[in-house]
Amino acid sequence: MLFISGQVPADENQRVPPDYPSQYRLAWANVERQLKAAGMSFDNLVKATIFLSDRALIAQSKGLRASILGERTPAITIVLTGIYDEKWLLEIEAVAAA
């Protein structure tokens, strides 16, 4: 089992995109990087918890998630909450199994 702690929408230089779709894709790219480091891929993903800063972002999330995960259907939990850095619109925790 691989437990991936909060992946945020910041790149290796701590730059954060201004818009939600770009932040969403970047946070998932950071999840994917952690999976690859453990010799895994999105195929191993069994659960993700997505923390959102605003309820209005939920509608965009489903389509974005499908564009990233394709036909994969891990368990997804969405939590509305304040996020540590005000620039971040989301944070993703994930669990994968080999």
Domain ranges of the chain: 2-96
> Mind listing the pLDDT tens digit for each residue in 14-51?
999 999 999 999 999 999 999 999 999 999 999 999 99
Q: Provide φ and ψ at 64, rounded to 5°.
A: -65, -45
To the nearest whole percent, how much of the chain has pLDDT over 90?
Answer: 95
pLDDT given at position 69: 96
Which CATH number does 2-96 carry?
Answer: 3.30.1330.40
Helix (H) or strand (E) segment spanning residue 65: helix 58-69
Give the whole-angstrom CA distance, residue 69 versus residue 5: 19
Give me the DSSP letters along 8-46.
-S--TT----SSHHHHHHHHHHHHHHHHHHTT--GGGEE
pLDDT given at position 34: 98
Mean pLDDT, the chain, as a whole number?
Answer: 96
